[in-house]
Amino acid sequence: MACSNCYNGCTEIVSDRCVRYTGLDVPVLGILSGDSLSVVEASLIEFLTSTLNGIGIKPIVDPLIICNLVQQYLPDCGDLTLNDYITALVKAACDLQEQVDAVVAELLVLNANYDVDCLTGVTATSDTHAVLQAVITKLCDLDVELAALALDVDTNYVKLADLNNLIAAYIASTSTSGTKYYTRMVPYTVVEYYGLLTGNFDVTGAGLNDWEKIYLCNGLNGTPDKRGRVPVGVIVGVGGGAMNPVVDPATPTNPNYAINGTSGANTVTLNTSQIPSHTHVATVTDPGHTHFTLADVVDTTGVLPTNTTSVAKESTFGSTQEEYAMRSSAITAAILGLSSSNTTGVSVTNATAGTGGAHSNIQPVLACYYIMYIP
């Protein structure tokens, strides 16, 4: 059916195409005065659709107020839509949330129980701020103490690099004739010396020139006589705790050393009580023996006994004592008889051994001079 009384003789049968918009132009919507109703409707529908999906909304935002966190998610070119801004804000918010979560986790670690050790005013369960403040306070206290220590060191100590120069300067200031060696020694302390004696010490052992006030320990000039002797720790008057039985004077035969006391020997001769106990075995066999009876006939003639008189006779022929003269012929039973047959006990004495000499009692040594500084 054709349009009846349509505007401007419109021949369309669809009414919105014949109706014209006569209002003000709306550029933002793309609507101009004189547009048909269908064009206006299409423009409104497009605008509403783009508004609902965010594409058509293009907020006007000053770029200077957009932070980098949001800016990094916005498109680099073209008009920015509401969707662009919302997407960037959501992503930025997610980033912030991740950062917040990380901070919270870090805070949980930081706020865990502390080992406060030397800190004061806090406990293991104090929060991080309190512990940090305690650390700052402690550091400030240490700074004050270090400043005091630095002042003390600077006032009362010298640098190691300056020590030798200061010692040399001191020695030079106390000596007018070269180096005085006693200035480097502790008084009354015995020191080993392997140098020359000639020119440095006189016949008494007193030091000469740079060796003045230093003496050989030869028993003169108030020195101990250390010739041929090694030192041992004094016990008398020293004090201290319980002593080892090896050196305790309460142990029999242990000396109780006093200052300048002497003991010991270079050689030792052992006596019977000092040698190990031992025995000597001696064996003697007695084969036995017999006794015979002989007639005793005194004769001064010097004639030997006959067969019928005796086996032997005593003779004092002339001035010579002949003792007994034995007959050379057979002896008859009437003249000779067995008196006894016995085994006799025998006493044996062992021969002595050894010469009773002494043995060396010297440990390995290295000979040196001993010197002492006596003020």
Q: What is the pLDDT of residues 230-281, one digit of tens each?
A: 888 889 998 889 999 999 999 988 899 898 888 888 888 888 888 888 777 7
Long-range contacts at 361-366 (CB < 8 A, ≥ 24 apart):
361/264, 361/265, 361/266, 361/267, 361/268, 362/266, 363/230, 365/230
CB-based contact 336:294 (threshold 8 Å): yes
Q: Which of 37-41, 204-208, 335-339 has the highest mean pLDDT?
A: 204-208
**What share of the chain in percent tops pLDDT 70?**
74
Q: What pLDDT score was predicted for residue 333?
A: 46
Q: How far apart are CA 187 and CA 83, in angstroms?
A: 98
351 pLDDT exceeds 80?
Answer: no
Task: Please state, rounded to an integer, the average pLDDT across all residues of the chain.
Answer: 79
Q: Which of 10-24, 232-246, 331-345 has the highest mean pLDDT?
A: 232-246
Q: Decide which of 18 and 309 is more confident.
A: 18
366 pLDDT exceeds 70?
Answer: yes
| H/E run at residue 214 | strand 214-216
pLDDT band at 220 (very low <50, low <70, confident <90, very high): very high
Cα pseudo-dihedral 242, 247, 248, 254, rounded to 10 = -170
Q: What pLDDT score was predicted for residue 346?
A: 64
Q: Which residue in the block uniquely carries the two structure tokens 């016990």?
A: 235
pTM confidence score? 0.39
Largest CA distance in the chain: 226
Query: In degrees, to the nearest 5, what angle opens at C-alpha 249 toward C-alphas 247 and 253?
Result: 85
Average pLDDT of span 54-72:
81
State pLDDT tens for residues 135-163: 899 899 999 999 999 888 888 888 888 88
Q: Which residue in the block uniquely carries the two structure tokens 């030091």?
A: 207
Beta-carbon contacts of 193 under 8 Å, excluding residues fewer than 6 positions away, are 368, 369, 370, 371
Q: How far apart are CA 246 and CA 137, in angstroms?
A: 57
pLDDT band at 67 (very low <50, low <70, confident <90, very high): confident
Q: What pLDDT score was predicted for residue 328?
A: 47
Q: How far apart are CA 173 and CA 83, in angstroms?
A: 93
pLDDT band at 9 (very low <50, low <70, confident <90, very high): low
Report the range of poorest mean pLDDT among 8-22, 48-62, 166-180, 280-294: 280-294
296 pLDDT exceeds 50?
Answer: no
CB atoms within 10 A of CB 324: 13
Q: What pLDDT score was predicted for residue 303?
A: 53
Report the range of poorest mean pLDDT among 17-21, 172-176, 319-323: 319-323
Q: How far apart are CA 89 and CA 54, in angstroms?
A: 14
Q: What pLDDT score was predicted for residue 108?
A: 81
Supply φ then ψ for residue 191, to 5 degrees. Answer: -130, 140
Strands of the 369-373 sheet, one edge to the other = 190-193, 369-373, 214-216
How do strand 369-373 and strand 190-193 relate by DSSP bridges?
antiparallel
103 pLDDT exceeds 60?
Answer: yes
Count the residues in the chain.
375
Q: Which amino acid is it at 75?
A: P
Report the range of poorest mean pLDDT among 11-25, 63-77, 284-298: 284-298
